[in-house]
Homo-oligomer: A and B are copies of this chain.
Amino acid sequence: MYLGDVAWPDLEEYFETESLALVPLGSTEQHGPHLPEATDHLIAEAFAREAADRTGYLCTPTINVGVSPHHKQFHGTMWADAPVFRDYVESITRNLAYHGIDRVIYVNAHGGNVEHLREVGRRLRDDEVLYAIEWMWDESIPDLVDDLFEQNGPHGGPKETSMIQYLDPQLVHEDRLEDARDGGVASVEASETVKHGSRTFFDAADNTENGVLGDQTDATAEKGERLFEAATDQLVQLAEWLAGRDFEDLLPRDHV
């Protein structure tokens, strides 16, 4: 069920019988010359809405802007500063508990959000308000990702390109895939900006001229569909697993 579409009386039964919410989060940031800035939040929303449709769990509207200062040198990247983003997500999530939600899956499609969502999850769990975990679609299907792509990217690479080719093909500039590959770098390692074990870069612009990594010509809509189906399946299973837990078992363990 998508929360945005329904009127409040029609939510009563859900809150009486279920306590799980899927919260999609992405980013609005450069994804190279070939992909739209909405890439991450489109992907997150697609997964969360699909899993909600298949399971009946509640999906909220999407948080479209995330923590993306590392892409700021490229036109149009939007971002919230990290402490502000954490507080915003925490506030929204904490307030969901008012309706009886006690477990949340952050359906996330932006790597830069991960650690912040984990920190928010800790705050809410340590306060015993709510149990919120972060799910990043590609981390649920690492073998398939490895099978499909020589070099998946990650940022703006064939993995994300395939997804948008499948989800919203007219947003992909198919004629720029070679340029995307040739103007970027194959991987972070290829940039040689990790020195003696220390990451000396902070921004995508420290590593790549056009903002992306990997071989975009390796992407197809068919691969996107396989990724989407496989990861949706994982998300569905995660939601069902989570819904089946006792809340007490989700709280922090006692002191030894």
Residues of A at the B interface (CB closer than 8 Å) are 3-9, 11-12, 14-15, 28, 30-38, 41-42, 60-65, 69-70, 72-85, 87-88, 90-92, 95-96, 98-99, 105, 115, 118-119, 121-122, 125-126, 133-142, 171, 173, 176, 195-200, 202-203, 205-206, 211, 231, 234-235, 237-238, 241-242, 252-256
Q: How far is it, in angstroms, between the C-alpha of A226 and the C-alpha of B249 when the chains are bound?
A: 43
A88 to chain B, nearest CB (A): 4
Q: Which residues of B contact A95 (CB under 8 A)?
A: 69, 72, 78-81
Q: How far is it, in angstroms, between the C-alpha of A128 and the C-alpha of B195 when the chains are bound?
A: 21
Query: Most chain-B CB neighbours within 10 Å: which of A61, A62, A79, A141?
Result: A61
Q: Which residues of B contact A78 (CB under 8 A)?
A: 3, 60-61, 92, 95-96
- Enumerate 10 A-B pairs (CB-CB under 8 Å) in ascending A order: A7-B30, A7-B34, A8-B211, A61-B64, A64-B64, A76-B99, A80-B91, A121-B202, A133-B200, A196-B241
Q: Is the CB–CB distance between A76 and B252 below 8 Å?
A: no
A108 to chain B, nearest CB (A): 10
Q: How far is it, in angstroms, between the C-alpha of A76 and the C-alpha of B62 when the chains are bound?
A: 15
Q: Is the CB–CB distance between B196 and A140 below 8 Å?
A: yes
Q: Is the CB–CB distance between B75 and A99 below 8 Å?
A: yes
Contact partner of A135 (CB less than 8 A), chosen from B3, B62, B77, B198, is B198
Q: How far is it, in angstroms, between the C-alpha of A81 and the C-alpha of B87 when the chains are bound?
A: 9
Q: Is the CB–CB distance between A238 and B196 below 8 Å?
A: yes
Q: Is the CB–CB distance between B8 and A33 below 8 Å?
A: yes
Q: How far is it, in angstroms, between the C-alpha of A65 and the C-alpha of B3 when the chains are bound?
A: 12
A84 to chain B, nearest CB (A): 4
Q: Which residues of B contact A82 (CB under 8 A)?
A: 119, 122
Q: Which residues of B contact A122 (CB under 8 A)?
A: 69-70, 82, 202
Q: How far is it, in angstroms, between the C-alpha of A236 and the C-alpha of B227 when the chains are bound?
A: 42
